[in-house]
Amino acid sequence: MNSNMSAEGGSASGGKKVVTIIIVVLVVLGFAYFLFKISPQQQALTGSGYNALLSESGIKAISSVPAFDPATDHYQGSAKAKNALVEYGDMQCPACAQYESIITQVPSQFTDTALVFRYFPLVQIHQNAVEAALANEAAGAQGKYWEMHDMLFAKQSPAKSIWLKSKQTAIRLWA
Protein backbone atom coordinates (compact mmCIF):
# COMPACT_ATOMS: atom_id res chain seq x y z
CA MET A 1 0.00 0.00 0.00
CA ASN A 2 2.83 2.31 0.71
CA SER A 3 4.17 1.69 -2.76
CA ASN A 4 0.77 2.56 -4.26
CA MET A 5 0.59 5.77 -2.25
CA SER A 6 3.96 6.87 -3.37
CA ALA A 7 2.99 6.11 -6.95
CA GLU A 8 -0.25 8.06 -6.62
CA GLY A 9 1.52 10.90 -4.87
CA GLY A 10 4.14 10.90 -7.63
CA SER A 11 1.54 11.07 -10.37
CA ALA A 12 -0.28 13.88 -8.62
CA SER A 13 2.89 15.91 -8.31
CA GLY A 14 3.72 15.06 -11.96
CA GLY A 15 0.28 16.38 -12.97
CA LYS A 16 0.94 19.59 -11.05
CA LYS A 17 4.24 19.99 -12.88
CA VAL A 18 2.54 19.59 -16.26
CA VAL A 19 -0.15 22.12 -15.36
CA THR A 20 2.52 24.55 -14.12
CA ILE A 21 4.52 24.17 -17.34
CA ILE A 22 1.39 24.74 -19.46
CA ILE A 23 0.52 27.88 -17.48
CA VAL A 24 4.08 29.23 -17.82
CA VAL A 25 4.09 28.55 -21.59
CA LEU A 26 0.72 30.29 -22.00
CA VAL A 27 1.92 33.31 -20.01
CA VAL A 28 5.11 33.55 -22.11
CA LEU A 29 3.12 33.24 -25.36
CA GLY A 30 0.67 35.90 -24.15
CA PHE A 31 3.53 38.24 -23.28
CA ALA A 32 5.18 37.63 -26.67
CA TYR A 33 1.87 38.35 -28.43
CA PHE A 34 1.52 41.58 -26.43
CA LEU A 35 5.04 42.68 -27.42
CA PHE A 36 4.31 41.87 -31.05
CA LYS A 37 1.12 43.95 -31.00
CA ILE A 38 2.83 47.03 -29.56
CA SER A 39 5.90 46.83 -31.82
CA PRO A 40 6.45 49.72 -34.29
CA GLN A 41 6.59 47.34 -37.26
CA GLN A 42 3.16 45.98 -36.43
CA GLN A 43 1.77 49.49 -36.00
CA ALA A 44 3.04 50.45 -39.46
CA LEU A 45 1.36 47.40 -40.93
CA THR A 46 -1.97 48.00 -39.20
CA GLY A 47 -2.28 51.61 -40.33
CA SER A 48 -1.27 53.44 -37.19
CA GLY A 49 1.75 55.65 -36.68
CA TYR A 50 3.33 57.76 -39.44
CA ASN A 51 1.32 56.37 -42.39
CA ALA A 52 -1.94 56.79 -40.50
CA LEU A 53 -1.06 60.42 -39.73
CA LEU A 54 -0.34 61.00 -43.41
CA SER A 55 -3.67 59.52 -44.49
CA GLU A 56 -5.56 61.53 -41.85
CA SER A 57 -3.89 64.75 -43.00
CA GLY A 58 -4.72 64.08 -46.66
CA ILE A 59 -1.05 63.81 -47.63
CA LYS A 60 -0.20 60.70 -49.61
CA ALA A 61 2.77 58.56 -48.59
CA ILE A 62 5.37 58.01 -51.29
CA SER A 63 5.60 54.32 -52.08
CA SER A 64 8.31 54.66 -54.73
CA VAL A 65 10.98 57.16 -55.72
CA PRO A 66 9.59 59.77 -58.14
CA ALA A 67 11.16 59.53 -61.59
CA PHE A 68 13.97 61.86 -62.64
CA ASP A 69 12.51 65.04 -64.12
CA PRO A 70 15.06 67.44 -65.66
CA ALA A 71 12.53 70.27 -65.42
CA THR A 72 12.28 70.11 -61.62
CA ASP A 73 15.29 68.15 -60.33
CA HIS A 74 18.79 69.47 -59.65
CA TYR A 75 21.13 67.20 -61.58
CA GLN A 76 24.59 66.84 -63.07
CA GLY A 77 25.11 65.01 -66.33
CA SER A 78 22.86 64.70 -69.34
CA ALA A 79 19.14 65.34 -69.11
CA LYS A 80 18.75 62.49 -71.61
CA ALA A 81 20.80 60.01 -69.57
CA LYS A 82 19.51 56.43 -69.53
CA ASN A 83 20.12 56.13 -65.77
CA ALA A 84 19.67 58.45 -62.83
CA LEU A 85 21.36 58.08 -59.45
CA VAL A 86 19.00 59.84 -57.06
CA GLU A 87 20.70 60.99 -53.86
CA TYR A 88 18.61 62.09 -50.90
CA GLY A 89 20.81 64.16 -48.63
CA ASP A 90 20.98 66.60 -45.76
CA MET A 91 23.19 69.65 -46.29
CA GLN A 92 24.38 69.46 -42.66
CA CYS A 93 25.00 65.72 -42.52
CA PRO A 94 28.70 64.90 -42.02
CA ALA A 95 28.28 61.47 -43.65
CA CYS A 96 26.66 63.07 -46.71
CA ALA A 97 29.57 65.51 -46.94
CA GLN A 98 32.07 62.63 -46.69
CA TYR A 99 30.71 60.66 -49.61
CA GLU A 100 29.73 63.67 -51.73
CA SER A 101 33.16 63.82 -53.40
CA ILE A 102 32.68 60.22 -54.56
CA ILE A 103 29.05 60.65 -55.65
CA THR A 104 29.80 63.75 -57.76
CA GLN A 105 32.17 61.66 -59.89
CA VAL A 106 29.27 59.57 -61.24
CA PRO A 107 28.39 61.78 -64.25
CA SER A 108 32.00 61.96 -65.42
CA GLN A 109 32.67 58.25 -64.90
CA PHE A 110 29.34 57.01 -66.29
CA THR A 111 28.23 59.24 -69.16
CA ASP A 112 24.82 57.56 -69.44
CA THR A 113 24.01 58.38 -65.77
CA ALA A 114 22.76 61.63 -64.28
CA LEU A 115 23.31 62.51 -60.63
CA VAL A 116 20.14 63.89 -59.04
CA PHE A 117 20.18 65.57 -55.62
CA ARG A 118 17.03 65.80 -53.52
CA TYR A 119 16.74 67.11 -49.98
CA PHE A 120 16.15 64.89 -46.97
CA PRO A 121 16.74 67.23 -44.01
CA LEU A 122 17.21 65.41 -40.71
CA VAL A 123 15.71 68.17 -38.58
CA GLN A 124 15.83 66.13 -35.37
CA ILE A 125 19.64 66.19 -35.36
CA HIS A 126 20.58 69.06 -37.73
CA GLN A 127 18.91 72.28 -36.64
CA ASN A 128 19.82 74.24 -39.79
CA ALA A 129 19.12 71.52 -42.37
CA VAL A 130 15.99 73.18 -43.73
CA GLU A 131 17.65 76.61 -43.85
CA ALA A 132 20.59 75.08 -45.73
CA ALA A 133 18.22 73.53 -48.26
CA LEU A 134 16.44 76.87 -48.68
CA ALA A 135 19.75 78.68 -49.12
CA ASN A 136 20.73 76.14 -51.74
CA GLU A 137 17.43 76.65 -53.57
CA ALA A 138 17.92 80.44 -53.47
CA ALA A 139 21.35 80.00 -55.04
CA GLY A 140 19.77 77.69 -57.62
CA ALA A 141 17.30 80.40 -58.56
CA GLN A 142 20.37 82.51 -59.42
CA GLY A 143 22.02 79.74 -61.44
CA LYS A 144 24.51 78.82 -58.70
CA TYR A 145 22.93 75.67 -57.25
CA TRP A 146 25.94 73.35 -57.45
CA GLU A 147 28.37 76.01 -56.22
CA MET A 148 26.23 76.56 -53.13
CA HIS A 149 25.71 72.81 -52.75
CA ASP A 150 29.47 72.26 -52.69
CA MET A 151 30.11 75.19 -50.35
CA LEU A 152 27.48 74.05 -47.83
CA PHE A 153 29.02 70.60 -47.69
CA ALA A 154 32.54 72.04 -47.45
CA LYS A 155 31.66 74.55 -44.69
CA GLN A 156 29.76 72.23 -42.37
CA SER A 157 30.22 72.75 -38.66
CA PRO A 158 28.19 71.96 -35.57
CA ALA A 159 28.86 75.44 -34.19
CA LYS A 160 26.02 77.81 -35.06
CA SER A 161 28.36 80.80 -35.32
CA ILE A 162 30.28 79.12 -38.14
CA TRP A 163 26.97 78.24 -39.81
CA LEU A 164 25.97 81.90 -39.63
CA LYS A 165 29.31 82.93 -41.14
CA SER A 166 28.72 80.43 -43.94
CA LYS A 167 25.26 81.89 -44.63
CA GLN A 168 26.67 85.42 -44.64
CA THR A 169 29.40 84.33 -47.07
CA ALA A 170 26.77 82.82 -49.32
CA ILE A 171 24.71 86.01 -49.21
CA ARG A 172 27.79 88.09 -50.15
CA LEU A 173 28.72 85.70 -52.96
CA TRP A 174 25.33 85.63 -54.60
CA ALA A 175 23.80 88.94 -53.59
Distance CA 95, CA 36 (A): 33
- CA 92 – CA 132 distance, rounded (Å): 7
What's the CA gap between 162 and 128, in Å, rounded?
Answer: 12
Q: What is the pLDDT of residue 163?
A: 52
Q: Is 81:114 a contact under the CB 8 Å cutoff?
A: yes
Sign of torsion, CA 88 92 98 103?
positive
Where in the chain are the domains? 2-57, 74-174
Q: Which CATH class is domain 74-174?
A: alpha beta
The amino acid occupying position 48 is S
**Tens of pLDDT, residues 75-106:** 999 999 999 999 999 988 889 988 888 998 99
Can you tell me whether residue 115 is helix, strand or coil?
strand
Residue 111 predicted with pLDDT over 60: yes
